[in-house]
Amino acid sequence: MGLWEKLKDALKKSRDKIVKGFKDIFKRREYDESFWEDLEETLILADVGPETSERIVSSLRKKLKRIKTVDELEEAIVQELLTLLEENKTPEEDNPFYPLVKPSSKPLVVMILGVNGTGKTSFSVKLAKYYKDKGLKPIIGACDTYRVAAIDQLVEWSQRVGVEVIKQFQGADAAAVAYDTVNAARSRGYDIAILDTAGRLHTRDELMRELKKMDKVLKKLDPDYPHEKLLVLDGTFGLNSLKQTRMFHQEIGTTGIVITKLDTSSKAGFVLSIRDELKVPIKFISIGERMTDIQPFDPEGFIRALLARDEVEMRTSA
Ligand SMILES: Nc1nc2c(ncn2[C@@H]2O[C@H](COP(=O)(O)OP(=O)(O)OP(=O)(O)O)[C@@H](O)[C@H]2O)c(=O)[nH]1
Ligand SMILES: [Mg+2]
Tell me the average pLDDT of the chain. 90
Tens digits of residue pLDDT in 171-224: 999 999 999 999 999 999 999 999 999 998 888 899 999 999 999 999 999 999
Instruction: Please list, in sequence order, all residues whose beta carbon lies within 8 angstroms of the beta carbon of residue 300, skipping any fewer than 6 positions away.
Output: 78, 82, 89
pLDDT tens sequence across 103-124: 999 999 999 999 999 999 999 9
Give the model confidence (pLDDT) of 227-238 as tens digits: 999 999 999 999
The C-alpha R_g of the chain, in whole angstroms, comes to 21
Mutate to test the pocket of ligand 1, among 289, 292, 293, 295 (most ligand atoms within 8 A of CB): 289
| DSSP structure class, residue 64 | G
Which numbered atom of ligand 1 lies nearest the CA of 294?
31
Share of the chain above pLDDT 90, in %: 63
pLDDT score of 143 more than 80: yes
Long-range contacts from 127-130, C-beta under 8 angstroms, 24+ separation = 127/194, 127/284, 127/294, 128/158, 128/161, 128/163, 128/192, 128/194, 129/161, 129/163, 129/291, 129/292, 130/294
Using CB distances shorter than 6 Å, the residues near ligand 1 are 114, 116-122, 144, 150, 199, 260-261, 263-264, 286-289, 293
Angle at 11 between CA 10 and CA 14, to 5 degrees: 140
| Cis-peptide, bond into residue 107, ω within 30° of zero | yes
Q: Distance between CA atoms of 39 and 62, rounded to whole angstroms? A: 14
Confidence of residue 164 (pLDDT cuts 50, 70, 90): very high
Lowest average pLDDT, out of 79-83, 150-154, 223-227, 259-263, goes to 79-83
pLDDT at residue 276 tops 90: no
Ligand 1, atom 11, lies closest to the CA of 119
Pocket probe mutation, ligand 1, options 115, 122, 236, max atoms within 8 Å of Cβ = 122
| Pair 291, 124: CB distance under 8 Å | no
Residue 260, classed as helix, strand or coil, is: strand
